[in-house]
Amino acid sequence: MKRYTVKEIEALLPELGGDDDPRWEMLRGDERKSVRALLARFMKQKEREKAMRQRWEELMRYERELYAAGIERIAGIDEAGRGPLAGPVVAAAVILPPDAYLPGLDDSKRLTAAKREALFAQIEACAVAVGIGIVSAAEIDERNIYEATKQAMAKAVHALSPSPDYLLVDAMAVPCALPQRRLIKGDANSVSIAAASIMAKVTRDRLMKDLDRRYPQYGFSRHMGYGTPEHLEAIRRYGITPEHRRSFAPVKEAAGAEN
């Protein structure tokens, strides 16, 4: 049998069939270190792809139940930014097509910033619809964070075109007439909610980076408005901005100290 060059093997590997393909025996018997390293990398990549496909199938279970019941447009809803001391709360609603496959999609908190950015672009490209809802720090102070989050979710749903038939929501109930199901840790259990978690997180992070350019002394691009020691020290040193949530205790204390 022909002895392939390393470059030829690299081109051949994606074309090989199952274990009964006789070329596998030849490749596994090749004692060249370069070939062994190439095979190891290839098999590792195949295992990663298999794991991503298995994770996708796990995340699709709620959507598959709804598709089987004749429901076509399923929107996943999630939010980002309930806990920070500054900046808006952002919600996203995403309708994915039934045949979508986004390798590596998962709860946004499990992903690196670079992976979230890459998936953000992929979701935008393949989604049937994406809606974003934003509620400002001032509105959070007026309503409280729980009600503001529900308002952001409702805005995201209303921004969808076409409208969804059904909502899968991370933990909360969206104030609208559409049928919906609340899933605890939904961003780790549903592809639609996981996609929404990424869209919400990336959108909010970008807004906080914009705020960082306006208020560079607070370090918003590093902590995204959360109550880190750096952020708390900046509040004590420079006071609060219009983007701070005055109803949150550490901000309220700083505001009181200013008076």
Q: Domain segments of the chain: what residues? A: 6-59, 75-210, 211-254
CA 115 to chain CA centroid, Å, is: 9
- If pLDDT is split at 50, 70 and 90, which confidence band does 253 have? confident
- Alpha-carbon separation of residue 9 from 19, 22, 34, 228 (angstroms): 16, 14, 10, 51
When the pLDDT of each residue in the chain is averaged and rounded to a whole number, the result is: 93
78 labeled binding residue? yes
Report the DSSP beta bridge partners of residue 79: 91
> What's the average model confidence in pLDDT over 37-45?
88
Task: Give the tens place of pLDDT for each residue, 163-182.
Answer: 999 999 999 999 999 999 99
170 labeled binding residue? yes
225: left (phi over 0), alpha (psi -120 to 50) or beta: left
19 labeled binding residue? no
pTM score = 0.88
Q: Does domain 75-210 sit in CATH 3.30.420.10?
A: yes
Query: Are 129 and 95 a contacting pair, CB within 8 Å?
Result: yes
- If pLDDT is split at 50, 70 and 90, which confidence band does 257 have? low
**Lowest-pLDDT range of 2-6, 16-20, 99-103, 178-182:** 16-20
The b/e string for 128-166 (b: 16+ C-beta within 10 A; e otherwise) is bbbbbbbbbbebbbeeebeebbbbbbbbbbeebeeebeb
Rounded CA-CA distance 181/76 in Å is 10
